[in-house]
Amino acid sequence: MKARLTIEVNQKRHTVEVDPATPLLYVLRNNLQLNGPKYGCGLEQCGACMVLLDGKATPSCLLPVETSIGKAIVTLEGLTQPGGKLHPVQRAFVEQQAAQCGYCLNGMVISAVSLLTEQKHPDETAIRKGMERVLCRCGTQSRILRAIRQAANESNP
């Protein structure tokens, strides 16, 4: 049964008419037409669908939209400043050219932002641990690690 729900995404309130059990991912991609979160497994195993939920990286592929009501949802789109300026983590990914196909990029950037919010200066083990949930099949991880180190240094000198 569909219901009218209001969620807060990228600092804006959106009212959608959906089955409240619909995973947040489909609401973001289809109702709000956002491209950031991606479908990868629908099983919380790959991290392609990551969003920030109250600042914490969370897979959105199984999360019923109704449980995200009242929480601040931020997607990859929402990291960019209104004028188009990139978030330091986004910028570091561009500068390190840390993508091949880029399908995993959303989960990578969102997880890195979440990690750097929690820990200003994560060491190598902490970075890897923070990124463990996100898979990349192109093997771009060594670049992604470089991008995260760069972002950590720049945003928390």
- Look at the block and give the residue holding tokens 């449980």: 67
Binding positions for ligand FES, 30-89, rule CB under 6 A: 39-42, 44-49, 59, 61
Applying CB under 8 A, among 132, 153, 154, 156 the residue interacting with another protein is 132
Smallest separation (angstroms) from ligand FES to the CB of 83: 28
- Would you say 72 or 103 has its CB closer to ligand FES? 103
Residue 3's SS3 state is strand
From the list another protein, ligand FES, none, pick the one residue 49 interacts with, judged by a Cβ distance below 5 to 8 Å according to partner type: ligand FES
The residue count for binding ligand FES (CB under 6 A) is 22
The backbone torsions φ and ψ at residue 110, rounded to the nearest 5 degrees and listed phi first, read: -60, -45
Within 10 Å of residue 35's Cβ, how many Cβ atoms?
11
Residue 57's SS3 state is strand
Rounded distance between C-alpha atoms, residue 98 and residue 12, angstroms: 30
- Torsion of the alpha carbons at 46, 137, 75 and 27, rounded to the nearest 10: -60
Within 10 Å of residue 138's Cβ, how many Cβ atoms?
12
Smallest separation (angstroms) from another protein to the CB of 157: 22
Interface ranges with ligand FES (CB under 6 A) = 39-42, 44-49, 59, 61, 99-104, 136-138, 140
Residues making contact with another protein (CB under 8 A): 18-19, 21-23, 26, 29-30, 33-36, 38-43, 45-46, 48, 75-77, 80, 86, 90, 93-94, 97-106, 109, 127-129, 131-143, 145
